[in-house]
Structure 1
Amino acid sequence: MGFGRQVYEFLKAASIAHAQWDMEVSTSILKNRKKLLFLMILALPILAVSFVEASDFIGSKTAYGPAFYTTQIFLVSIAVGLAAGLITGCIGAGGGFIITPALMAAGVKGILAVGTDLFHIFAKAIMGTAVHKKLGNVSGKLAIAFLVGSGGGTFIGGAINKGLYNKDPLLSEFFISSIYAVLLGFLGFYALFDFLRASRKESGSDAHGGSHGGPAGVTGMALKLQNLNIAPMITFDEDFVPGGKRISGWIVAAGGMIVGILAALMGVGGGFVTFPMFVYVFGVSSMTTVGTDILQIIFTAGLGAIAQYAIYGYVFYTLAMGMLLGSLLGIQVGALTTKVVKGIHIRGFYAMSIIAGFINRVATLPKKFVELEYLNMSKELVNGIEYVGNIVFWIVVALFGAWVIGKFIVNIGALRQEG
């Protein structure tokens, strides 16, 4: 239980850190009229295209087609981005974990959902991240060692996904769904236990699901790793500790490789793991970590999206654009709504949204087992299980969205006065 709790706290901190980055980037884009105008210009041709039945493309045997535009697909992607943005903005965590499962639930092939999500993150990072404001706290040597590892990791993760898909598209779908089922199940049920425990205590503290900062001291693991003298050694945090701290470049590169593999396998950009890895595992200060995290998201997501997915046709640009537009709105509405709702309610919806994603992915596995001829079950039964999982997921997402938007509209007067 102790180890499980540590892993959960690590992943929760990761999710919170990624949500903070997402909110910062979205705010930066919305405050810049030129960036907004650019997005609108890109969106106009998509909206102008005549309607084509989405089922002819999404979920069909033709897995990809980067230039394929339909109004329905574009609107679905905006809805997915809006839901993820509401979760990110309102809960302060978790939205990034929902996008790939939501795209798959809408019928998008798993490898295409991963590549598109990764490209969406890369596009958002390029447009919205004000890197120059953070570079003063970046350790160049630390960043280079990490990016060397993460670059290699994206090639490994991308090769795994492409290899599985080329061997059998069903195997690829099964693999991606299994990863998300394990991750979302672990996160969701721990979050549910936290919510129930907080409900019993009737505690209103920690209203947004966790602390948004790093630990005050250096962890035992970080001290052990820093004491390993394996050349080349990298010095960092000179501005915060006399003489700075030191860690082996091989350790940092190994951490980067793990992040790169996860980014390429899951389409999450890797940023959600970098923050807790630097703070908890490497012992890097929060200030240095923030700057390095921004750089690694751009390079890791960019390398993964372009070199591992886009050049092979596994990026659906229409979906990426719609998700970006939807998430910009959702994050702002969600963030404002936190001012007028109770923290305990937010915790509950966080647990519900993650568990709904878990149910959705788990419900697809029996059908995949049957299609891969690992199980012998009737088609009607496995299709029914998958259908129920889809319905549960979209009902929970719709209820959450309606609740947040409803709270926002009812309290819009009070929010204006606060603003």
Structure 2
Amino acid sequence: MQIYLPIAEISVNIYLLLGIGGLVGVLSGMFGVGGGFLITPLLFFVGIPPAVAVATSANQIVASSVSALFGHIKRKGVDYWMGTVLLIGGLIGSTIGVQIFNLLKAMGQVDLLVNLCYVVFLGIVGGLMFIESINALRKSKRSGARKRRRHNWVHNLPFKVKFRISGLYISVIPPLMVGVFVGILSAIMGVGGGFIMVPAMIYLLGMPTKVVIGTSLFQIIFVSAYTTMMHAITNHTVDIVLALLLLIGGVIGAQFGTRIGAKLKAEQLRILLAALVLLVCIKLGLDLVITPLDVYSLGTGE
């Protein structure tokens, strides 16, 4: 069954869009990511214009993240104070990111920028996370004893605050900067930023994995909602019909993802997320360098 998308100005199979939303919802519940790093490229692949895909993806991320968050709230896996600090940074970053997006759109370079950002960030983050996850999995098999967290430069910064649920006493500067960076990415790439934020919360801030996913979702909800509103007001690129279909699929999928994630170990979740990030990166990278099957050129008719 085909459905016409008024803002994207194309017709797409309705079940395909529901399936994309459902898949991303499962990922949101399992890994604590909004799923934008996957849903935006998938929308590219089905013919949605990049500007519409970026703006509308942020809207779907809100729905799947809200649905997934409820499961983590029940398990008391959300650090609201840490989430609030990340959120403040995220709102600042989103405002900056939307302005950059508008500037590049006016220059006609937004499509290339979005694709390059995906390849670079997904490649770096996925590679580092995959290597670390393999090492963590090996260590957990060798010994069940947990090592004490090592202090790094983060613990020497001023303006320290106690985050009780995370069991941390660190400066608010690092989580604030993480929030700003993720907010910029959210606006430019149409992502929730979980694929950057989750590793940063684990490896940079030293948060326990059991609270990272829920806290990440808490921040993603508000930043993605704000980003969607900004794109709708400034660019008019949010397709409500597309967003609704993705939203329905995302809400349903997130419930299954939360249950699956609860049954897997932290190391297993991290290595699965890393593998998925790398696969998307490779696909987008190949699309940038491989000559398409339908090669055509524009010219004046004679």
TM-score (norm 2): 0.70
Q: 1:118 aligns with which of 44, 52, 58?
A: 58
Corresponding residue for residue 293 of structure 2: 384
1:288, distance to aligned residue in structure 2 (A): 5.4
1:276-333 residue CA offsets vs partner (Å, 9 max, x unmatched): 3233212344565455333312211111121244653222222222223334555639
**Would you say the 8 A contact 2:21–2:246 is kept in 1?**
yes
Q: CA, structure 1 residues 335+361, in 2 after alignment: closer, same or farther (shift >3 Å)?
A: same
Match of 2:44 among 99, 104, 126: 104
Cross-structure match for 1:227: 156
Deviations 1:145-198 (A, max 9, x none): 322211111112222222111221xx111111112223444567789999xx99
SS at match of 1:235: strand
1: CA distance, partners of 2:273 / 2:199? 24
Look up the SS of the partner of 2:170 in the other structure. Answer: strand
* Contact 2:37–2:195 under 8 Å retained in 1: no
Q: RMSD of the TM alignment (CA)?
A: 4.5
Query: Could you say which residue in structure 1 is the equivalent of 2:142?
Result: none
Q: Secondary structure of 1:124's partner?
A: helix
- The CA deviation string for residues 31-69 of structure 1, in whole angstroms up to 9 with x for no partner, is xxxxxxxxxxxxxxxx8xxx56x5xx6xxxxxx728x79
Equivalences for 1:24-35 in 2 at 5 Å? Answer: none
Q: Does residue 297 of the first structure (1) align with residue 297 of the second (2)? A: no
SS in 1 for 2:219: helix
Contact 1:88 1:96 in 2 (8 A): no
CA shift at 1:84, angstroms?
4.0
Shift of 1:266: 2.1
By how many angstroms is 1:138 displaced? 3.0
SS of residue in 2 equivalent to 1:65:
coil
1:215-254, aligned counterparts within 5 Å?
Answer: 217-221=148-152, 224-229=153-158, 232-237=159-164, 245-254=168-177
Q: Distance in 1 between matches of 2:147 and 2:90?
A: 27
Q: What pairs with 1:48-63 in structure 2 (closer than 5 Å)?
A: none
Which residue of structure 2 aligns with residue 147 of structure 1?
Answer: 87
Give 1 or 2 for the bigger CA radius of gyration.
Answer: 1
Q: Give how far 1:80 is off.
A: 2.2
Unaligned 5+ runs, structure 2: 138-145, 297-302
Structure 2 match to 1:162: 102
Quickly say closer, same or farther: Cα 1:86–1:174, change in 2 above 3 A.
same
Partner of 1:78: 18
CA contact (8 A) 2:34 2:193 kept: no
Higher relative contact order (CA 8 A, sep 6+): 2
Q: Structure 2 vs 1, CA of residues 259 and 190 (structure 1 numbering), >3 Å: closer, same or farther?
A: closer
Residues of 2 paired with 1:185 and 1:145: CA distance?
27
TM-score, length-scaled by structure 1: 0.53
Alpha-carbon distance between aligned partners in 1 of 2:190 and 2:107, rounded to the nearest angstrom: 20
How many percent identity over aligned positions?
25
Kindly report which structure 2 residues correspond to 1:1-400, keeping only aligned pairs within 5 A, or say none.
65=7, 72-84=12-24, 96-127=36-67, 129-130=69-70, 133=74, 138=79, 140=81, 142-168=82-108, 171-186=109-124, 217-221=148-152, 224-229=153-158, 232-237=159-164, 245-286=168-209, 289-290=212-213, 292-309=215-232, 312-327=235-250, 332=256, 351=275, 357-365=280-288, 382-384=291-293
Rounded Cα–Cα distance in structure 1 between residues aligned with 2:63 and 2:28: 18
What per-residue deviation string (whole Å, max 9, x for no partner) do you get for residues 3-34 of structure 1? xxxxxxxxxxxxxxxxxxxxxxxxxxxxxxxx
SS at match of 1:384: coil
Q: Decide whether the 8 Å contact of 1:115 with 1:305 is kept in 2.
A: yes
C-alpha separation between the residues in 2 aligned to 1:357 and 1:97?
8
Tell me: CA distance 1:149–1:89, structure 2 relative to 1, closer, same or farther (3 Å): closer
Q: How far apart are residue 83 of structure 1 and its match?
A: 4.4
Q: 2-side partners of 1:98 and 1:261: how far apart? A: 18
Kindly state the Cα deviation for residue 74 of structure 1 after the two structures are TM-superposed: 3.1
Does the residue aligned with 1:314 lie in a helix, a strand or coil? coil
Give unmatched runs, 5+ long, in structure 1.
1-46, 58-63, 199-204, 207-214, 367-380, 388-419
- Closer, same or farther in 2 for the Cα pair 1:284/1:126, shift >3 Å? closer
Figure out how many residues of one structure are paired with residues of the other and give that number.
Answer: 279
SS at match of 1:261: helix
Change (3 A) 1:252 1:82: closer
